[in-house]
Amino acid sequence: MGAAALRTGKIGGARVRVRGWSGRSGLAKVDLYTRGTVYLLIWVALLALTLLMLTRPVRLGAHPVVAVGAPLLALANGVVSTLLARRAMDAYLGQGPVPRRLVFRAAVVAALATGTALWLAATVGMEGMLPMALSTALVPFVTGHCLIVRRRTTVLLHAGVLALLAVLVPLTGRGTAETLFTLGTVAFTIGWLAFTARISMWVLAVMWELREARDVQARLAVAEERLRFGRDLHDVLGRNLAVIALKSELAVQLAQRGGEGPALEQMTEVQRIARESQREVRDVVRGYRGADLRTELDGARGVLGAAGIRCTIGSPEAGPPADGLPVEIQSALAWVVREATTNVLRHGEAEHCAIGLTTTSGAAVLTVENDGVRSPAAPGTRGTGLTGLRERLTALGGTLEAGPVPGARFRLTARVPVPASGRPDVPRQEPGDSAGGTDGPARVSAPGGTDERPPGTEPGGTGRGGVTYGTGRDRV
């Protein structure tokens, strides 16, 4: 640590570690400086009042009890006002209330100190010292009290004190000019120091609010990264786990029928997919993974074909026009293909799945359509896969629509604008908008019946691999 960052001392035989100036953060330094300034105002006034109570006219002309009690009263005024200022500063920063009893005690001691100053001015004279005596008697209380009441209350309190002094000061034998001078001095002193204390604490409060805003921003960044990680982990493992379950079931059936060779091939493929999933999970953790559209399309054809589902992608000869799209759009559409393939495998009893990709009117449109849609399932079941897709597409200005179509088929349509610049035009989200919310262009559901469905449109039944959909237990 820095020089003198932590100093060690002994108090009552115990070792105490005190953090030095260089070991504090910037906000801690400002906090210490501001609080020290407020305490300094109080104790400078206390010192001045004590010295006034020890001057020659007071020591020689006042009653012995008053001569001894006045400095002690000034000291008590400083101690009680310091306690009030400490609690008042905490209350100003929202760190706890101020006890009413403490405010009352500080007010009583300040009133006694002020009354003592007026009494001494009337009995021993204190020529030229009354303005300072009254100011220093009132400053300790006013410095803390102005932090716990509104500005208007502070102004009214000062006005009331000045009105009372306007009645009491002439009783000490002062003339009109000296009375006005005394009132002006007191008004300026207590007003200026109250303003100084309040503006200093206001600056400190603003800095604490900025610190809290930075903490909130950091927490939001962590939450956003957690959401990203959960979404990517779902997208990465969803299809692979579905394929592993499908191929494991197929291997069991082949082994039961005596086909050890084909069963071994299926389990070898399961092992390969498991290792690939492990690698992809590591990539997700590092935050570097990006989906490739062409690879996902080829993978979808192979996976669906292995499951006995005939898959066509664009025209059998040319394939979809994916090469000219920006990388961001290709990656987002690749995730759509992966999630749609997963849901075709896990939900419904599809025999054919058609995937098409076209670029028209400045937008890339990906459609995934499958048959095998069965009876609706129970409403209210929801998943997270298509919500994650909506987040990805909304970030690029795109939309996701899904639902049943005539002919007992299910269609998912992803549309992303492709600007002339070749970069996706990301819209500005207003406060309250959520990419993954439920107030988007349309409610979405997965091919074959799945994640977010309007009531009455959920396909039901039992899919491949013993997955019962409509219950919400086994959906990705």
With a cut of 80, say whether residue 168 has pLDDT above it: yes
**Do the Cβ atoms of 367 and 405 come closer than 8 Å?**
no
Q: Is residue 444 very low, low, confident or very high in pLDDT (cuts 50, 70, 90)?
A: very low
Quick one: pLDDT at residue 468?
29
Give every CB contact of residue 359 below 8 A, 6+ residues apart in sequence.
Answer: 321, 324, 325, 365, 418
**Do the Cβ atoms of 149 and 131 come closer than 8 Å?**
no
**Do the Cβ atoms of 458 and 374 come closer than 8 Å?**
no
Written as six digits, the tokens of 101 are 């009893």
Q: Is 18 helix (H, G, I), strand (E, B) or coil?
A: strand
| Percent of the chain residues topping a pLDDT of 90 | 7
pTM for the predicted model, two decimal places:
0.48
Beta-sheet strands, E only, within 143-284? none
Quick one: pLDDT at residue 396?
86
Q: Is residue 383 very low, low, confident or very high in pLDDT (cuts 50, 70, 90)?
A: low
With a cut of 80, say whether residue 447 has pLDDT above it: no
* Torsional sign, CA 342, 408, 473, 232: positive
Q: Is residue 29 very low, low, confident or very high in pLDDT (cuts 50, 70, 90)?
A: confident
β-pairing, 363-370 with 409-417? Answer: antiparallel
Q: Is residue 367 very low, low, confident or very high in pLDDT (cuts 50, 70, 90)?
A: very high
Q: What pLDDT digit, counting tens, does each position of 173-193 carry?
A: 888 888 899 899 999 998 898
Quick one: pLDDT at residue 375?
56
* Torsional sign, CA 211, 216, 222, 225: negative
- β-pair partners for 352: 310
Quick one: pLDDT at residue 368?
92
| Percent of the chain residues topping a pLDDT of 70 | 76
C-alpha distance from residue 376 to each of 281, 352, 363, 446, 449 (Å): 34, 20, 32, 13, 8
Return the CATH superfamily for domain 292-476: Histidine kinase-like ATPase, C-terminal domain (3.30.565.10)
| Mean pLDDT value across residues 93-102 | 87
| Mean pLDDT value across residues 381-403 | 79
**Do the Cβ atoms of 374 and 409 come closer than 8 Å?**
no
The domain ranges of the chain are 20-217, 292-476
Compare 293 and 458 and report the one with higher pLDDT. Answer: 293
Q: What pLDDT digit, counting tens, does each position of 255-309 carry?
A: 888 777 888 888 888 888 888 888 877 776 655 556 678 888 888 888 888 777 8
Mean pLDDT (the chain, rounded): 75
Compare 221 and 80 and report the one with higher pLDDT. Answer: 80
Q: What DSSP character marks residue 427?
A: P
C-alpha distance from residue 146 to each of 94, 149, 318, 434 (Å): 15, 6, 79, 44
Quick one: pLDDT at residue 108?
92
Q: What pLDDT digit, counting tens, does each position of 100-130 carry?
A: 899 999 999 999 988 888 888 888 777 778 8
Q: What DSSP character marks residue 50?
A: H
Q: What pLDDT digit, counting tens, does each position of 49-77 carry?
A: 888 877 777 777 767 777 778 888 888 88
Q: Which long-range contacts (CB under 8 A, 24 or more apart) does 129-134 make?
A: 129/52, 129/55, 130/169, 130/172, 130/174, 130/178, 130/182, 131/181, 131/182, 131/185, 131/186, 132/48, 132/52, 132/185, 133/49, 133/52, 134/165, 134/182, 134/185, 134/186
* Torsional sign, CA 347, 348, 354, 356: negative
Give every CB contact of residue 403 below 8 A, 6+ residues apart in sequence.
Answer: 410, 411, 442, 443, 444, 445, 453, 454, 457
Least confident of 152-156, 331-335, 435-439: 435-439
Q: Is residue 454 very low, low, confident or very high in pLDDT (cuts 50, 70, 90)?
A: very low
Quick one: pLDDT at residue 3?
40
Q: Is residue 428 very low, low, confident or very high in pLDDT (cuts 50, 70, 90)?
A: very low
Q: What pLDDT digit, counting tens, does each position of 215-256 carry?
A: 787 677 667 767 877 777 777 777 788 888 888 888 888 888
| Mean pLDDT value across residues 22-44 | 83
Estimate the share of the chain in helix, then strand, then coil, as percent rounded to the nearest 5.
60, 10, 30
Quick one: pLDDT at residue 422?
52
Supply the DSSP string of 126-143, one letter for each residue. -TTTHHHHHHHHHHHHHH
With a cut of 60, say whether residue 350 has pLDDT above it: yes
Written as six digits, the tokens of 471 are 């219950």
Q: Tell me, what amino acid is at 405?
A: V
| Mean pLDDT value across residues 318-326 | 60
Q: Which long-range contacts (CB under 8 A, 24 or more apart) does 161-167 make?
A: 161/186, 161/190, 162/186, 162/187, 165/134
Quick one: pLDDT at residue 467?
30
Q: Is residue 156 very low, low, confident or very high in pLDDT (cuts 50, 70, 90)?
A: very high
Quick one: pLDDT at residue 20?
63
Quick one: pLDDT at residue 464?
34
Beta-sheet strands, E only, within 314-362? 352-360
Quick one: pLDDT at residue 414?
92
Quote the CA–CA distance of 57 and 130 in Å, as a whole number.
13
**Do the Cβ atoms of 464 and 345 come closer than 8 Å?**
yes
**Do the Cβ atoms of 261 and 239 come closer than 8 Å?**
no
Written as six digits, the tokens of 126 are 């204190």
| Mean pLDDT value across residues 137-141 | 89
